[in-house]
Amino acid sequence: MLLHIPGVFSRDEVRRIRQALEQAQWLDGKVTAGYQSARTKHNLQLAEDDPLAREIASAMLERLWQNPQFMSAALPHKVYPPLFNCYTDGGTFGFHIDNAVRQVRGSAERVRTDLSSTLFFSDPDEYDGGELVIQDTYGSQRLKLPAGDLVLYPATSIHQVTPVSRGARYASFFWTQSLVREDSQRSLLYEMDQAIQSLSRDVPDHPALVQLTGNYHNLLRRWGEV
């Protein structure tokens, strides 16, 4: 399942974040790449312990924990702390699949990467190229979302960022270990939850809502890992 979640940050918030990112100290993005990925990764990245990165990441996760769409789709159990990158001057990241497990820097905690997320801090008209290309069962999806919007997709997907030939593409990315490992099961639960929410608005007293909600939680109980 690939999901577009709009407006995680407002336009004013994006503007302030962008100004801070433009003044930040950027490093070679290969510092967080595995051996295979490092061969095709050509971008800039903030250090994981950079105070600015931590500040924005904290605000971003706080927003997402309050976002019903993200919570319903991701069913998060653990999250790898968000990272920040910049693609400019031909920067690109060729086709790759994210590492299955990542260890949080300075911690013994490991996160299984069930889901990948990218939150854009540059608008599409501010740079040429830089599309996030995701290959899934329905073909290739090419994404350049408005600044402040997030895309959520299975980390099992082959994906790339095409070369940026003009401007700069600023973004944050992170991985989520879901309570439900299997993407098809998460998709089914998400669709069921959306139906429950819709019925709760339109026919809140319908007796079938109790049974449908019970079925949702019984499936989550069967498939969930804690």
4 is in an annotated binding site: no
Q: Calculate the alpha carbon distances from 87 to 102, 120, 121, 203 in Å.
A: 23, 12, 12, 48
For residue 192, give the H/E element and its range: helix 183-202
Q: How far apart are CA 35 and CA 37, in angstroms?
A: 6
206 is in an annotated binding site: no
Rg of the chain taking only CA atoms, in angstroms: 18
Q: How far apart are CA 159 and CA 95, in angstroms?
A: 5
Contacts of 3 (CB under 8 A, 6+ apart): 69, 73, 151, 152, 153, 190
**In sequence order, what are the beta bridge partners of 141?**
134
Q: How many Cβ atoms from other residues are within 10 Å of residue 174's Cβ? A: 23
169 is in an annotated binding site: yes
Alpha carbons within 13 A on the beta-carbon side of 159? 24
Which of 68, 53, 74 minimizes the C-alpha distance to 152?
Answer: 74
96 is in an annotated binding site: yes
Q: Which residues are annotated as a binding site for 2-oxoglutarate?
A: 169
Binding residues for Fe cation: 96, 98, 159
Residue ranges of the annotated binding site are 96, 98, 159, 169
